[in-house]
């Protein structure tokens, strides 16, 4: 029992702190590594490692259809989602980026309602959407962006589009015929999603601007951190928790990650933390809580901790 509690504590620490810190890691590494090469390399290498481990463990191989669906989801989540996010973060501070990404649950509610024809959103859900929209307006309004002249409207728009891609992929995967084993599924998604970003990098000029010999050791170490900790350890911890702990508790990482990212960006990278960002953080995290908790409470509680 004691060892299980330690494992739970370590896993929560991973999805709280590591996933919150990946925004800063990406922001710093982007100074020397182009976005689609950084994000693509992170997931391609992670995919290779996870699939190699799955093969050594003798995990069942997915069917051709399952492989195709996982590949499609990987392109949506990692190329359309994380790839565009990395592209935008060339100019957007990591703390601000983490707050914009919290728009994800709002996209999720609207996609499920419009596309999947789920039940009409409740008053609590509508309240969460409204609060989230107000928080977003505070964050990307003219007064807030005045303190960040390098941030362009297209950067903000692409982050919102990235969040849309991610959540569309997440909703698509719920009904698609996917690999039964989560490690096999994620390995395929990472491998294909990373390779797709390498292809995108050919058209954005990333490969022309990438000179490995000029990249500092620090940036290479940040990439290693993103591969080992952000992708492999972070996902493994999440996959284990979702099967062993009450889902409501696991979902709290959605509230904690932006707070960790904002604090690290401010303390480590010297990013600005304005009153507008503080107000937006409170509103956005509150909105995510309203949008998420109600649905998670209805989910079956397996092996609650």
pLDDT digits (tens, 9 = 90+) for 59-73: 889 999 999 999 999
User: Does residue 6 sit within a domain?
Assistant: no
Q: Look up the pTM and report it.
A: 0.82
140 vs 42, which has greater pLDDT? 42
User: Does residue 303 sit within a domain?
Assistant: no
Query: Is residue 142 predicted with pLDDT exceeding 70?
Result: no
Integer Cα distance of 195 and 74 in angstroms: 10
CB atoms within 10 A of CB 4: 10
User: Does residue 61 sit within a domain?
Assistant: yes
In this predicted model, what pLDDT tens digit does every residue of 21-79 receive, in sequence order? 999 999 999 999 999 999 999 999 999 999 999 999 988 899 999 999 999 999 998 99
247 closest CA partner among 179, 302, 203: 302
User: Does residue 305 sit within a domain?
Assistant: no
Tell me the H-state helices in 149-298: 153-175, 182-204, 206-209, 217-225, 234-244, 247-250, 253-267, 275-297
User: Does residue 151 sit within a domain?
Assistant: yes
Q: Supply the pLDDT for residue 297.
A: 55
User: Does residue 134 sit within a domain?
Assistant: yes
Contact assessment for residue 11 and residue 234, using Cβ atoms and an 8 Å cutoff: no
Q: Supply the pLDDT for residue 52.
A: 95
272 vs 57, which has greater pLDDT? 57
Mean pLDDT (whole number) for 227-234 = 90
User: Does residue 128 sit within a domain?
Assistant: yes
In this predicted model, what pLDDT tens digit does every residue of 75-108 receive, in sequence order? 998 999 899 999 999 888 888 888 787 776 677 7
Quick one: angle between helices 94-101 and 253-267, nearest 10?
160
Q: Supply the pLDDT for residue 208.
A: 94
Helix (H), strand (E) at residue 49: helix 35-56
Range of the domain at 228: 19-297
Integer Cα distance of 140 and 128 in angstroms: 18
Count how many domains the chain has.
Answer: 1
User: Does residue 52 sit within a domain?
Assistant: yes
């Amino acid at each position: 029992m004691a060892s299980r509690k330690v494992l739970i504590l370590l896993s929560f620490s991973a999805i709280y702190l590591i996933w919150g810190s990946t925004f800063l890691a990406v922001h710093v590494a982007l100074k020397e590594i182009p976005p689609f090469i950084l994000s693509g390399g992170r997931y391609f290498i992670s995919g290779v490692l996870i699939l190699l481990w799955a093969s050594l463990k003798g995990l069942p191989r997915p069917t051709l259809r399952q492989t195709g669906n996982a590949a499609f989801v990987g392109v949506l989540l990692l190329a359309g989602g994380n790839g565009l996010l990395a592209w935008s973060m060339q100019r957007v501070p990591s703390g601000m980026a983490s707050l914009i990404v919290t728009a994800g649950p709002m996209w999720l509610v609207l996609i499920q309602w419009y596309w999947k024809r789920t039940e009409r959103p409740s008053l609590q859900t509508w309240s969460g959407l409204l609060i989230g929209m107000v928080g977003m307006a505070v964050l990307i309004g003219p007064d807030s962006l005045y303190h960040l002249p390098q941030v362009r409207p297209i950067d903000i728009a692409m982050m919102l589009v990235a969040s849309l891609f991610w959540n569309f992929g997440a909703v698509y995967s719920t009904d698609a015929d996917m690999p039964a084993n989560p490690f096999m599924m994620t390995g395929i998604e990472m491998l294909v999603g990373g390779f797709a970003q390498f292809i995108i990098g050919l058209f954005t000029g990333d490969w022309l601007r990438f000179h490995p010999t000029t990249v500092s050791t620090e940036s290479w170490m940040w990439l290693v951190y993103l591969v080992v900790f952000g992708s492999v350890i972070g996902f493994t911890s999440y996959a284990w928790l979702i099967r062993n702990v009450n889902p409501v508790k696991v979902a709290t990482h959605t509230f904690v990650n932006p707070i960790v990212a904002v604090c690290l960006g401010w303390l480590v990278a010297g990013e600005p933390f304005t009153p507008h960002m503080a107000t937006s953080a409170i509103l956005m995290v509150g909105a995510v809580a309203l949008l998420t908790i109600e649905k998670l409470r209805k989910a079956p509680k397996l092996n609650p901790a």
